[in-house]
């Protein structure tokens, strides 16, 4: 069962819900994008079964890694943050595009 539902506000996806996957996610070393998305697909399927659009993935320490099939950007205290590659965030094309255009800080974001 998934826990902690929140609503995405502002920007693309506004009004959609995401849930926090309760299963600790073990990212690929160095944030590599590989063909092995099985854990991501399971988390996304569980999120959709609960009525949410996406699932936030955390490691065993409760550090946010990203979404099952999306990049994550969070606004806190007026600053834009995204999970750091050093903690296992995937380095995708959309993430790089946003980082090249906006002032976004990579951070260790806790549950």
Mean pLDDT, each 10-residue run in order, the chain (111 residues):
48 70 77 71 91 91 91 91 90 90 94 83
What integer pLDDT is reported at residue 12 of this predicted model? 55
What integer pLDDT is reported at residue 14 of this predicted model? 59
DSSP string, 44-77: HHHHHHTT-SEEEEE-TT-BEEEESSS---EEET
CB 92 within 8 A of CB 100: no
Which class in CATH covers the domain with range 3-107?
A: alpha beta
Cα–Cα distance measured from residue 105 to residue 107, given in angstroms and rounded to the nearest whole number: 6
What integer pLDDT is reported at residue 84 of this predicted model? 92
- How is the chain split into domains, by residue range? 3-107
What integer pLDDT is reported at residue 19 of this predicted model? 86
């Amino acid at each position: 069962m998934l826990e902690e539902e929140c609503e995405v506000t502002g920007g693309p996806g506004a009004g959609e819900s995401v849930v926090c996957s309760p299963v600790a996610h073990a990212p690929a070393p160095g944030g590599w994008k590989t063909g092995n998305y099985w854990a991501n697909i399971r988390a996304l399927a569980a999120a959709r079964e609960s009525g949410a659009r996406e699932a936030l993935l955390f490691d065993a320490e409760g550090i946010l890694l990203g979404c099952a099939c999306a990049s994550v950007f969070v606004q806190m205290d007026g600053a834009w943050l995204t999970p750091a590659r050093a903690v296992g965030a995937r380095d995708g094309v959309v993430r790089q595009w946003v980082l090249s255009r906006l002032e976004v800080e990579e951070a260790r974001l806790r549950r």
